[in-house]
Amino acid sequence: MYNIMEFSRNRSTCVEQTDNNTLRSYCRLNDTVMDALVEITVSVPDLEIVSVQGNVFRPYKDEFTESFEFLKRVIGTRIGPGILKIVKGLTEGIRHKQFAFMLEECCHAVILSFTKEDLLSHPRPDNEEESIRYHRQMVLDNIRLYNRCAAFAPGSRIVEGINPKTGEI
């Protein structure tokens, strides 16, 4: 009769620069059954994962400790292209895969923090045509972007006329 939510999940992932050489990225999950935190610290600019910690605030069970120890296998790896594959491979067999996903979210947030920085460092396009030009240049600078999503796929104004084989117009 009532539209009461059956299950609810909040996930907040944040990246903080704690000093010139260190980023802290943490993922906090708070849902109907669990309240947990996974945190990594990453050296800059190598983006090497130097520490991993985890904690469960609700429900508390000793067995979670084992899974958090599992996550420490990624210490020493670097956040770069292919990191998700490495995280998945190194955490294979972890009992609570949710924590492995939270670790992936932490890594992903680090990458997005640099994307944000890069976007902010360039002049904000004032109009649509400027925006198209700006994104087109991104593709020309890194042709890997071509067809990586709908915005950069054939048919989009951004990639109109770009030859994906040569990376030129």
Partner 1 sequence: MLKFMRNKIVGIEVKDSNTLLAHGFLDDDIYSIEMDVLIDINHLEIRDIDGRWNRWTTTECKRGIPFLKEAVGLRIKGDFSQTVRRIIGRKACRHFANLLLECCYTAKEASKTLKEKLEEKHDLCTATYGDNNDKNTDSTAFADESDHFSGGFHDKDPSFSMIIDLHTHSFPASPCSSVSVDQLVQEARRIGIDAICLTDHNYVWDSSAVEDLRQKYGFLILRGNEITTDQGDMLVFGMEKDIKGIIGLPDLRKEVLASDSIIIAAHPFRGFLTVGIQQIGLTLERAVKRPVFRYVDAIETLNGSVTENENRFTDMVAEKLGLPKTGGSDAHDVSRVGVYATGFVDRIEDERDLVYAIKEGRSFPVVFRRYAETKASA
Name which of residues 55 to 114 contact partner 1 (CB under 8 A): 59, 61, 63, 74, 76-78, 80-82, 84-86, 88-92, 96-98, 100-101, 105, 108-109, 111-114
In angstroms, give the least distance from the CB of 84 to partner 1: 7
Residue 45 and residue 147: Cα distance in Å, rounded? Answer: 28
CB nearer to partner 1: give 53 or 168: 168
Type of residue at 29: L
In angstroms, give the least distance from the CB of 91 to partner 1: 8
Q: Which listed residue (1, 19, 33, 126) binds partner 1 by CB under 8 A? A: 33
Applying CB under 8 A, the site for partner 1 has a residue count of 85
Buried b (16+ CB within 10 A) or exposed e, 110-120: bbebeeeeeee
CB nearer to partner 1: give 63 or 126: 63
For position 19 contacting partner 1 by CB under 8 A, the verdict is no
Residue 118 and residue 31: Cα distance in Å, rounded? Answer: 33
For position 169 contacting partner 1 by CB under 8 A, the verdict is no
For position 122 contacting partner 1 by CB under 8 A, the verdict is no
Positions 130 through 149 that interact with partner 1 (CB under 8 A): 131-132, 135, 138, 141-149
C-beta separation of 71 from 52 below 8 A: yes
Residue 78 and residue 135: Cα distance in Å, rounded? Answer: 28
In angstroms, give the least distance from the CB of 156 to partner 1: 5
In angstroms, give the least distance from the CB of 122 to partner 1: 11
User: Cα–Cα distances in Å, from 26 out to 38, 62, 88, 101, 109?
Assistant: 6, 21, 18, 12, 9
**Closest by alpha carbon to 93, among 75, 108, 73?**
73
**Closest by alpha carbon to 116, among 108, 105, 127?**
108
In angstroms, give the least distance from the CB of 70 to partner 1: 12
